[in-house]
Structure formats: structure tokens, C-alpha cells
Amino acid sequence: MAPRRRREYSFAQAMVALLIGLFLFVFLAIPVFTVIYVAFTNADGSMTLSHFQSFFSLTLMRESFYNSLIVGGMSVVISSIFALPLAYFVTRFQFRGALLIQTLGVLPLIMPPFVGATAMQLLFGRSGSLNLVLGDWFGINLPIMEGLNAVIWVEALHYFPFILLNLIVALNNIDRAMEESAQNLGASGMRLFRRIVFPLAMPGYVAGAALVFLKVFDDVATPLVLNVTNILAAQAYLRITSIGIDDPIGYVASVIMVAASVVALWGSALALKNRDYATLQRGGSSLAVKKLKPWQAAIAYGWTVFVLLLVLSPHVGILLLSFSRVWSFSVIPEAYTLQNYATMFQDSPHMLWNSALYCGIAASLDVILGTAIAYLILRTRVPGRKLLDFAATSAVAIPGVVLGIGYLRTFRDFNVPFTDTPVASFWLIIALAYAVRRLPYALRSCTAALQQIHVAMEEAAQNLGANARRTITRVVVPLMAGGILAGFVTSFLTAAVELSATIMLVSATSDAPVSYGIYLYMQSIAGRGPGAALGVVAVLLVAIGTYASHRMVHSRAARLEVQNPVNDI
């Protein structure tokens, strides 16, 4: 009998895939390729490398390039210095630090570094609190906040938890049998740690380090707030906004940033490729936990408290700043006031509203796209589904500034239907940029949620009479709800503190979201107080949102306790 052609996907699935593909094509692929295209072509459209030549012939650009690498690399180094001992204490000793680690994990999420940067100047700058005290007592002045140091210091303090958390997960995943068999063969102490434990945890460390590098490389707002303009992201922004949308140097800077991100991600992907070999076997237990000796406990808790104080310093700083009337050349503010909050609430209700609107749109779009893509990848055979996954995920490698420049260039010639406003300066474009930038995280969350659901759950529904659509609405989505909610909240909150693309795309103050508002305030001495107040309000809102969603997701998970007896014989 002739083989029958198997129907591998439905029309509806193909249409959904096509729509998602179209969205990613228009709002991710075209803008990014436009940027690359402009960097490599002359005004008449012919291919050229001359823009790169002129880029590297400019002293400022060369300097910016090196500075970006230095800032990214040194941030990783400083972050590692903070993170490594903490990860070691937490995983190897009976150490009461779970709550602390959780707190450290969410702190970078709820407040981006640029918000606290001004406060960090006041605390650690040349005439900041720390140096005033040190100068009084010992007559020394630490150049923590001088030039690039400032950027490195602020970024490292914010982002080191990415290394910490990845490292802890990696260390906890190492099967105790790995360690015990090494001991059984005669290895112990530092030698055991160096030869067995650390190599096994290496992929986790590299993943965290790549993430830190990426975040720092990508960050345009922190250097600008700290008045450091000779790094790539800042130069890309300044060239486009001051010289113009046609200046090729900005595009060259963008292309270099994309390339650096891709290399960092590629490195981490390489490191993660073989990581399964070390993971915990079923029924295995993780590394042996030792009791701390008193002197060890002193060091461990001492270091932890020290790091925690540093991590909290920007938060405490903006809190103080938001209540201060004047704060300069003094350890703490000299006079307190509520005026900053009054000013802020007078100026910025529309910013809060804008943020809620943009982030709401972005997060909704993200979970819809994320759920759809996850379903297409894991449950259908629609052609091109892998490409969708790749395209959606690749947004991670595109710095916000670059995406912003791409949008400005691509959409400047199109008007919003029925109006004279170019799409590039329409507020919705900000929300779309957020959606594209946060989609990888939402997608990961949705994919993980769907992977948890055994296919038999869906087949059982179909077997009992539910068609494909009813199976999705009655079984798949309810079971994914936790993951979808987590994806929504992550997208929403991280979009709320996004500034890299925002700074490129906000065309009118009336369209500005909170993050841009804080940035604007921080530009002037007089604006610092209200800016800090807005920062405090934003951080509080974000913190409440994070906490509430954690509670919801956890109570849900506890209630459902999805059981998929893994039992394939």
C-alpha cells in the first residue's frame, strides 16, 4: 500500500506560527539588520568597511571600545570576588543564609543600577560619606567612584548575584557521589575542591559571568548618570541623538556591541553544553555540608554582612537622598524634608501610568507569544518552529540601545495609520521594544512550564472528547498558569526598569515612563531629590509586585504539586 501522507500540523498552528514569525521579523530582525546594513554600506548602498575604519581612527571611539571591554571584564572580576566566597559558604557549610541569598537574588531585579548611581556618588565619591570618614580618621581617599571605577563598582554591586545564584545552583547540583568517589580515591580538602568540585561547577560560573558581562556592556544609563561618556553604549546613544540618525559611527558602535554580546553568549553556551554530566542523579544527594568552626563562622558571617551592607548601600542611599533637603560634603544629609515626594507626585503621575501601560502591554504580549511559541516547539511539527524559538531567544543578544536605534531608523518613514506621527515616535513602539527585549525570559518561563506537563495529560483530555482547542484551554493553560504568571511578572518588572531602549525611543516627556523620569531628574542637582523619591516609589512597587507574585506562584505550586510519575520502562 502506498504510504499515506501524514498530516503533521494544522492550518491554525501554521497561521499562529506565521503571525509570530511576522512579529519577530518586523520588530526584531528588520531593525537589527537595518543597523548592521547601515554600518556596512555607503549612502549609495554599496558595501564598505570605511565606517569601521573611521570608527577606529577616532581616538574617542577606540578608547570607548577598550573602556567597554574593561568595564565589562572588571565588573565580572569584582562580582566574582563578592560571589565566590558566599557561594562557597552557602553550599559547603551549615550556613543560615537562604533568606539572604533570596534577597540578594531579587535586589538587582527590583532596582536597576542607574537609579542608585547618584546615591553611590554621595556615599562612595571623592567627597562622599565613606571618604569623608576615612579622610577624617586616616587622611586617605579611596578613588572608588573615579571615572570607570564608578561604573565598575556600581555595576558589580548590582549584578554579582547573577554569578552567585548560578554558582550555588551548580554547586548544589553536583552529586555527592562525585565528591565521595574522589575522597575514596584519596583526594581531600582544597585539592578535592580544586580538582573535582570547582571544575564541575564551572559551567554555572561561566553562565553567570556571561550574564553579568552582557548586562554591563549593554547598560547605557549608569555611565551617563555617572557622567562617563567614553564607553560604547553611551557613544552609540550620543552619536545618534546629538549628531543624527544618519551618523554611521553610531551604527558601527552598535554592531560591535551586538558582536560582543554574541561572543559572550556563545562562550556561555559552550560552557553549558556538557553540563548534564555533573547533575544530581535520582536518589542522590548534594555535596556534604560541614559545620563551621568558630573562626570560620566569624569570617563567613563577617564577609556576608559586609557584602550585604554594600549591596544595600544604593537602596539606603536613594532613600536618604529622597528625604534630604541638601546632601553634599556630609556623611549623611543635613536636613530632611518630604518636599521631594510632593514635587515628584506633582510631576510624574503620568510616568507611573505610562510605565504601567507599556509594561502591561509588553508583558501580556510576551506571555501570549511565549505560550504560543512554547506550544509550537514542544507539541507541534509546524515547519520553522525551531527558527521561531531561535529568533525569540536571540533578542537576548541585542543591546537595548541597538534595538532602539534600529527602531528609530526602520520606522522613521512610516506613519501610524490615520495620523502624521511617525511610528518611530509613537508611544506604542516603546512597549513593543520592551516586549521584544523581555520575550526570551517569558519564553523560557513558559517553555519550562509546558515541559513540566506530561503529554499524556493532553492526550487523556483528547481521548475523553476534548478537541485541540478545548484541550489547550481546559488542561494546558491551567497547568501552565504558574509559569505564565511568573513570566508575566518578570517581563513586567524588568521592563519597568528598562532604560537602554527607552532612552532612545522616548520622543516626548509626556510619553516618558518612570525609568526615563528618574534618569531625567538625575541630570540636575535640583532633580536628585525628586528623582530619588520616584526611584523609591518605583522600587517599592516593583518589590511588592515581586513578593506578591512569588507568593502566588509558590502557593499554587504547593497546591498542584504536579505529579508526573517518571516511569518509562
Partner 1 sequence: MSKVSVRFENVALAYGPTQVLRDITLTIEPGEFFALLGPSGSGKSTLLRVLAGFAQPDAGRVLVDGRDISRIPPWERDIGMVFQNYALWPHMTVARNVAFGLEERRLPRADIDRKVAAALQLVGLAELGVRRPSQLSGGQQQRVALARTIAIEPKVLLLDEPLSNLDAKLRVHMRSELLALQRKLGITTIFVTHDQEEALSIADRVAVLDQGVIQQTGTPMQLYDHPVNRFIAQFVGTINLFDGEVTRANGQATFVSTGLGRVAVAADAPANGRAQLAIRPHAIRLSGDESAREADRIWLEGTVIHREFLGEFVRYVVRIGDAELTADEPHYMGGRIYEPGEAVGAGIERAQFKLLAI
Binding site for partner 1 (CB under 8 A): 1-4, 6-7, 454, 456-457, 459-467, 470-471, 474-475, 478-479, 481, 559-565, 567, 569
Q: Measured from the CB atom, is 290 or 470 closer to partner 1?
A: 470
Q: Measured from the CB atom, is 219 or 458 closer to partner 1?
A: 458
Nearest approach in angstroms of CB 240 to partner 1 is 49
Q: Which three cell numbers stand for residue 524?
A: 540636575
| CA 154/CA 147 separation, integer angstroms | 12
C-alpha 462 chain-centroid distance:
39
| CA 81/CA 104 separation, integer angstroms | 15
Q: Which three cell numbers stand for residue 565?
A: 510519575
Nearest approach in angstroms of CB 168 to partner 1 is 28
Nearest approach in angstroms of CB 8 to partner 1 is 9
Q: Measured from the CB atom, is 451 or 462 closer to partner 1?
A: 462
Q: Measured from the CB atom, is 92 or 556 closer to partner 1?
A: 556
Q: Measured from the CB atom, is 57 or 467 closer to partner 1?
A: 467
Comparing C-alpha atoms, which of 366, 395, 375, 393 is closest to residue 488?
366
Nearest approach in angstroms of CB 557 to partner 1 is 10
Decide: 276 and 58 in contact? Cβ < 8 Å.
Answer: no
Decide: 418 and 399 in contact? Cβ < 8 Å.
Answer: no
CA distances from 186 to 179, 191, 199, 293, 556 (A): 11, 10, 18, 24, 46
Decide: 499 and 202 in contact? Cβ < 8 Å.
Answer: no
Nearest approach in angstroms of CB 558 to partner 1 is 10
Nearest approach in angstroms of CB 5 to partner 1 is 9
Amino acid at 418: F
| CA 375/CA 181 separation, integer angstroms | 42
Nearest approach in angstroms of CB 124 to partner 1 is 50
Count of Cβ atoms closer than 10 Å to residue 95 Cβ = 22
Q: Measured from the CB atom, is 166 or 471 closer to partner 1?
A: 471
Q: Measured from the CB atom, is 417 or 465 closer to partner 1?
A: 465
Task: List residues bridging with 41 in a β-sheet.
Answer: 47
Nearest approach in angstroms of CB 492 to partner 1 is 24
Rounded to a whole number, what is the distance in angstroms from the first to the last CA of the chain?
33
Query: How long, in residues, is the chain?
Result: 569
Q: Measured from the CB atom, is 183 or 473 closer to partner 1?
A: 473
Nearest approach in angstroms of CB 490 to partner 1 is 22
| CA 401/CA 55 separation, integer angstroms | 18
Decide: 231 and 147 in contact? Cβ < 8 Å.
Answer: no
Q: State the DSSP string of 366-396.
A: HHHHHHHHHHHHHH---TTHHHHHHHHHHGG
Q: Measured from the CB atom, is 274 or 467 closer to partner 1?
A: 467
Beta-carbon contacts of residue 167 (< 8 Å; ≥ 6 apart): 83, 84, 87, 201, 204, 205, 208
Q: Measured from the CB atom, is 346 or 463 closer to partner 1?
A: 463
Q: Measured from the CB atom, is 59 or 467 closer to partner 1?
A: 467
Q: Measured from the CB atom, is 282 or 291 closer to partner 1?
A: 282
Q: State the DSSP string of 489-503.
A: HHHHHHHHT--HHHH
Q: Measured from the CB atom, is 12 or 562 closer to partner 1?
A: 562
Q: Measured from the CB atom, is 43 or 566 closer to partner 1?
A: 566
Q: Which three cell numbers stand for residue 57?
A: 581612527
Task: List residues bridging with 422 in a β-sheet.
Answer: 415
Nearest approach in angstroms of CB 483 to partner 1 is 13
| CA 370/CA 372 separation, integer angstroms | 5
Nearest approach in angstroms of CB 19 to partner 1 is 24
| CA 456/CA 479 separation, integer angstroms | 13
> Which run of H or of E encompasses 451?
helix 428-451
Nearest approach in angstroms of CB 454 to partner 1 is 6
Q: Half-sphere exposure of 376 toward its Cβ, with a 13 Å CA cutoff?
A: 29
Q: What is the DSSP letter of 325?
A: E
Nearest approach in angstroms of CB 564 to partner 1 is 6
| CA 309/CA 149 separation, integer angstroms | 19
Q: Measured from the CB atom, is 184 or 463 closer to partner 1?
A: 463
Q: Which three cell numbers stand for residue 90?
A: 552557602
Nearest approach in angstroms of CB 199 to partner 1 is 36
Three-state SS annotation for 180-196: HHHHHCCCCHHHHHHHH
Amino acid at 426: F
Nearest approach in angstroms of CB 474 to partner 1 is 8
